[in-house]
Structure formats: structure tokens, C-alpha cells
Amino acid sequence: MSTPTYHRFETIIVGSGGAGLMAALHSSKEVGTAVVSKLYPMRSHTGAAAGGIAAALSNLEEDSWENHAYDTIKGGDYVVDQTPVEILCREAVECIYDLEHMGLPFDRTPDGRISQRRFGGHTRPVPGNPSKREPVMRSCHAADRTGHMILQTLYQQCIKQGVTFFDEYHMLDLIMVEGECRGIVAIEIATGRLHVFHAKSVLLATGGFGRMYKVSSNAFALTGDGPAIAYRHGIPVEDMEFYQFHPTGIYRLGVLLTEGCRGDGGIMFNGKGERFMETYAPNMLELASRDVCSRSIYQEVRAGRGVSGKDFVYLDIRPSTINKYKSSPIHRDGLEVDDHFIESRLSESLELSRTYLGIDPLKEPMPIQPTAHYAMGGTPTDFDTRVFRNAAGDVVPGLYAAGETACVSVHGANRLGTNSLVDLVVFGRRAGKAMARYAKSHDFKEIPKDAAVPTKIMIEGALAKPRTEPWVRIRDELQVVMMDDCGVYRTAEGLANARQTVASLKKRYEATGIQDKGTIFNTGLLEYLELGCLIDLAAATVASAESRKESRGAHSREDFPDRDDVKHFNHTFATKDGDLDVKIDTRAVDVIYIEKDGQQVPKYPLEVRKY
Ligand SMILES: Cc1cc2nc3c(=O)[nH]c(=O)nc-3n(C[C@H](O)[C@H](O)[C@H](O)COP(=O)(O)OP(=O)(O)OC[C@H]3O[C@@H](n4cnc5c(N)ncnc54)[C@H](O)[C@@H]3O)c2cc1C
């Protein structure tokens, strides 16, 4: 391979989704900033986000950031760091107005304010009866293309601001010197040339790793490259056992039908035509949190009440059904939902159903099943997005993480819908500012001349090895075992099987090479390297799930069905220990105390989580 090309920027952002672009925008206001992304920015997965972005604006109903914080902590089944949650919910409001001023075309109320819709787990105390809670309209939206609009808006601002973009450059390594991060190594996909990016601060904003599972709402590029590469450098991953399954994936395909369908009144029915959420969440019904809804679907299917005895149920957004149950927000004004209401607010979902299922949701219900969706875990950070090197909270100088890649940790054991987009913009902005501060107060430090050599060896090794079997087969087997044994429900036996299977897949992966030996647009090589990332993260996920012997949020152990606040009210830190061994540590949850009757008591006391 030829000599790597050298670049120098004060800050390097890896990833051009919502988190990366927000960080780039704010960093570039102060220092020279470049974004390195394996996809063109507009193809980043943030563009798929449909339903909305949460902020307690009180535009349609009285609300407060404190309500939002309460819901986020309860939604996360309490293993949520409370200081960053308060930051998230307070700064959310400011960030929405920032986005609006940048030109984001939010939907409007008739009097011109930003429109909001309901989403699962977002509540407020019932006016006049504060001991009870009711769903609240907190999700700001641009039809069901909110993420796409966020990307468009931020990208335009970044261009205006003079951010340098390296599109279709794939990061393969971090440059770590004496425990500090001083840059990255990336491959230019079009030419196969290696590039060394020397920087004062680096942000990992590489998104999630939902391709670890067979049925997934995530695009092919979501392979956890950022956390996996950091993990190989001894940086832990946090709370990997908490992986969210979204209840309304299109049957068999996993393609997502936004929670906005239920927020706007859609109802789920089992094969007997029963509205089964009445049994599992009598108060919030379809707007219970995602983990509760996904488990409810599994329970119905297990009890033989799937549609036609199969493993799916129905999501019904026909106006006639919504009107019958009077479950849409517009019923509060005595109005009825019609085709136009559904078309104008859920056009993407209608299109997906018509395209992939051949079903017109205005006329028929849609078959759905839970789909792997969102990583609550990832690279651990503080609330300025600085990466932790260990469970004690020591930081890695120069390294930052934000967005789905990171675990800050505001989502705990289960993220609420619309809380990811707001996490991207709040902590993306914090990341940009913190990185610029760091860059301005530090000089460039030297990097080794051979910084790209380990990457070169890795690539040449993959190209030189004989192809003993197709790597795609290894990926398929990984996705199946993770889905079956480390999915919605888990047991000790299943997890042990997953651990052994992942270990043997790793051996097979290391033994085999790839067919295409070229350098130009060698997507086979890149997908093979992405699979390596997924395998390492799968090992950390399984080990974390084995260590948590309780059920909490998205982590449901059939052998430990209860939440155990005595032993497990903490975060899990998984660190690579040898080739596949994983060392598990724990870190205390950040709890805010307040004074009450002369005593220090938790501001958000632990409660039994019911909806
Ligand atoms: C279908 C769907 C609908 C959703 N709807 C909502 C919603 O309505 N509201 C909500 O709050 N959340 C929603 N989410 C979740 C939310 O969209 C994501 O969590 C969020 O967009 C992730 O943003 P990000 O910036 O962290 O990463 P992404 O937007 O995924 O971007 C990752 C970036 O990293 C780059 N990258 C990755 N690896 C490398 C590498 N090795 N080298 C260089 N670049 C790399 C990619 O090119 C990409 O630019 C939804 C998710 C899905 C899948």
C-alpha cells in the first residue's frame, strides 16, 4: 500500500449523523474542524428518524423539563445518571429553538407554534389530580421526517460555517499515544488509500450497532465501529446489556413503523382482535415504554395469540379504528381523525407499508413484530462527552463520544422514543464546545511516523488470508444467535450458548479472508472489517448480560424476573481482556439528592415501574 496522506485539524469528528454535525457546527465556530464519515452526511442514519424530538415546550399542553426528566429516569428503569438527564431535559428546549432558528421546518399548530405529538412514556401529572399521570404532547416533529430535516438543517449550517468534509472515508483506528487520543487513521473508500488525521481532539459519533441482530431497524452501516475500535484500545463499553427492541417493526423485515403511529392514536391487536395492551399497561396502553410493549407482544405470541398463530400482531392506524377508541390527540377537541390527518402526519409509514407489505394502512392493519433498534450502551462519557477510560471515571485526554455511540448515560436500561434525537443535539453541542475548548488550550502533540502501520497490517492480513468460508455466513450466524439468545428475553443457558458461539465465530472470522483482493471501492473488505467490530461488541454485550442477574428495562432475564436494586443499581463496564475475554466492573449511578424535612433524600426516588 502507498504512503498514507497526512492531514492536521484541531478537531476531528468521526460521523456525520445528528451528533457529529451538531458537534462540528459548534466546534467550527472556534477552531479548524473536519468531519470524517464513511457515508455521505445525508445518508447517515439520523435521516431515518421519523417520529420526533422531545422537548417540554408546553406548546399544546402544560409541561415542564422536570416532567421530562422524571419520565426519562423512570423510562430508563432508574439506572440513569440524573445530572446529565437534567442537562438533557433543560437544554432540550433551547436546542429546539436553535434548530428552528437555523431553519428546521417543524410542523406548526394553527397559531404558528411548533406542533407536538405524544410518545410512549412521556407524561405529566393529571391537572387537578397530580398523583396520577397522563400522556403529554412533547415530541416536536416535521411530519415523520424529523431526522431527515435535522440532517439537512445541520449540514447546511456546517457548510456555511466552513467545516471540511471527508465523505466516504472509513475510520479504521484511533491514534493513541501515552493514553491520549491524537488522531485517527481512515481509508478513502474510492481509492483504498490510507489517511492519517492528526488532531488535538477527536469525537466518536459513529452511531449504533443494530446490525448485531437478525431483525433490525438499523441500516447496514450501523456496525459500532467507534465503540469497537476504542474497546480494542482498552477503553470500556458501558451498559451493553441494555439493547432496545422497538415494538413496531414490519413483520420479518424489521423496518420501523414510527412510534408516532401510536402517538397519533394507532392501536395494537392480537390474533383474537383484543387490544392486549389493556392487560399489560392499563394506564398508558400503547404508549407504555418500548420495552413493555415489546415484551407484551412476545407474551401474546407465546400464549398462541399471535395473528393466525404466527409470531406477529397488528398495528391498526385506520381512521375508523382510531375514532372508535377515541385515542388520537385531536379527539380532545371533539374532532375525528380522517385519511388526511393520517396522510399528513404519517406519510413515511404509509409509504413503507405500501412498498414493503403491499398493505394500505388506511384500509388494513399492518403485521408487526419487535425489531432491534437502539443501543442504550456504548462508549462511556461524562456530561461534557469526555470518554472514560475506566469505571472510576478517569478520562482519556483528547477523546470524546456523542450520540448513539456514547453512553452518557441518559437512557439507562430503556430509552424513551424521541429522546435520541434530543440526546444528539444537546450532547453534540456540548461535545463541539468541549472539544474546541480543549483544542484551544493544548498544543498539537507528536504522533508516531508509523501511526498507520497497524491498520496497514490489518488490511494486508485480510487481503492475504485464504477465504476458508464466506464471511457473510459468519455475520448471519452472529445475528441469529444474538437475536435468539441475547434478544428480548434472556436466560443463563441462552447467554452461555451465545458466549460460546460468539467465541467460535471469532475464530472462524480470524481464519478467513475475503474474495475481492482489490483496493478500489472494496466494500467487501470494509464489511468484513465491520463484522470484526460487531463480533467484539457482541462478546461485550453477552458478558454484560450474563453479569446482570436481574430484569430491568430492556434486559429481561427469565431466570431473574425481578429488578434487584440492592445488587444491581449500577452501570456495567465491560473491558476487553485478551482476545475475547471480557472484564466486568460496575460504576455507581449518579443520583441527585435534595433536602426534605431536614434530611437528604433522592430527588427521583426508586419506584415500581408501571404504565
Ligand atoms: C428507523 C429509525 C427511526 C428512528 N426514529 C427516531 C425518532 O423519531 N426520534 C428519536 O429520538 N430517535 C429515533 N431513532 C434513533 C435515532 O435516529 C438514532 O439513535 C440517531 O439518529 C443516531 O444518530 P448518531 O448521530 O449517533 O448516528 P448516525 O446518524 O447513525 O450517524 C453515524 C455516522 O457515523 C458514520 N460512521 C460510522 N462508522 C464510521 C467509520 N468507521 N468511519 C467513518 N464514519 C463512520 C456514518 O457514516 C454516519 O455518518 C430512530 C432510529 C431508527 C433506526
Average pLDDT over residues 2-11: 94
> What does the pLDDT read at residue 450?
95
Residue 596 confidence class, pLDDT cut points 50, 70, 90:
very high
- The per-residue pLDDT for range 129-165, each reduced to its tens digit, is 999 999 999 999 998 899 999 999 999 999 999 999 9
Task: Please give the Cα distance from 560 to 146 (Å, whole number).
Answer: 38
CA 482 to chain CA centroid, Å, is 17
**Mean of per-residue pLDDT scores for the chain:** 96
SS3 at position 143: coil
Judge whether residue 332 has pLDDT over 80: no
Dihedral sign (CA 255, 259, 261, 267): positive
Predicted confidence (pLDDT) per residue in 389-447, tens digit: 999 999 999 999 999 999 999 999 999 999 999 999 999 999 999 999 999 999 999 99
Q: Whose CA is nearest to atom 41 of ligand 1?
A: 171
- Max mean pLDDT range (290-294, 331-335, 504-508): 504-508
Residue with CA closest to ligand 1 atom 38: 206
Supply φ then ψ for residue 35, to 5 degrees.
-110, 130
Laid out side by side, the sheet with 129-140 consists of: 53-54, 129-140, 116-126
For residue 327, what pLDDT band results from cuts at 50, 70 and 90?
confident
Label residue 35 by pLDDT band (50, 70, 90). Answer: very high
Q: How far apart are CA 187 and CA 174, in angstroms?
A: 12
**CA-closest candidate to residue 277, choices 156, 120, 432:** 120
Among 420, 423, 424, residue to substitute to test ligand 1 (most atoms within 8 Å of Cβ): 420
What average pLDDT does the segment 179-188 reach?
Answer: 98
Give the pLDDT band of residue 610 (cuts 50, 70, 90): confident
Query: Which residue from 404, 419, 528 has its CB within 8 A of the most atoms of ligand 1, so it is best to mutate?
Result: 404
> Which of 324, 404, 313 has its CA nearest to residue 367?
313
Helix/strand/coil for 601: strand
> pLDDT per residue over 501-536, tens digit each?
999 999 999 999 999 999 899 999 999 999 999 999
Give the percent of the chain with pLDDT over 70. 100
Q: How far apart are CA 341 and CA 344, in angstroms?
A: 5
Query: What pLDDT score was predicted for residue 77?
Result: 97
Ligand 1 atom nearest residue 422's Cα: 11
Query: Counting atoms of ligand 1 from 1, which one is nearest the CA of 255?
Result: 1
State the pLDDT at residue 294: 94
What pLDDT is recorded for position 141? Answer: 95
Q: In the predicted model, is pLDDT for residue 2 greater than 90?
A: no
CB 204 within 8 A of CB 400: yes
User: Per-residue confidence at 191, pLDDT binned at 50, 70, 90?
Assistant: very high
**Close Cβ partners of 547 (under 8 Å, ≥ 6 residues apart):** 241, 572, 584
Report whether residue 494 contacts ligand 1, using a CB cutoff of 6 Å.
no
Check residue 354 and report its DSSP letter. Answer: I
- Residue 207 Cα: closest atom of ligand 1: 27
Strands (E) in 153-291, as ranges, are 164-167, 169-177, 180-188, 194-204, 237-238, 243-250, 267-269
Task: Lowest mean pLDDT of 37-41, 172-176, 260-264, name the range.
Answer: 260-264
Centroid of ligand 1 to alpha carbon of 261 (angstroms): 21
The candidate with the shortest Cα–Cα distance to 226, out of 29, 411, 15, is: 15
Tell me the CA–centroid distance for residue 509 and ligand 1, in Å: 26
* Any ligand 1 atom below 6 A from CB of 197: no
Is the CB of residue 263 below 6 angstroms from any atom belonging to ligand 1? no
Confidence of residue 579 (pLDDT cuts 50, 70, 90): confident
Give the lowest-confidence range in 82-86, 224-228, 236-240, 292-296: 292-296
Cα angle vertex 229, ends 77, 473, to 5°?
Answer: 90
265: left (phi over 0), alpha (psi -120 to 50) or beta: left
Check residue 283 and report its DSSP letter: T
Q: Which of 454, 519, 529 is nearest to 2 (CA)?
A: 519
Read off the pTM: 0.96
The Cα 554–Cα 377 span in angstroms is 11
Handedness of CA 286, 288, 294, 299 (dihedral sign): negative
Residue 18 Cβ < 6 Å to ligand 1: yes
Catalytic residues: 290
Give the residue-averaged pLDDT of 171-183. 98
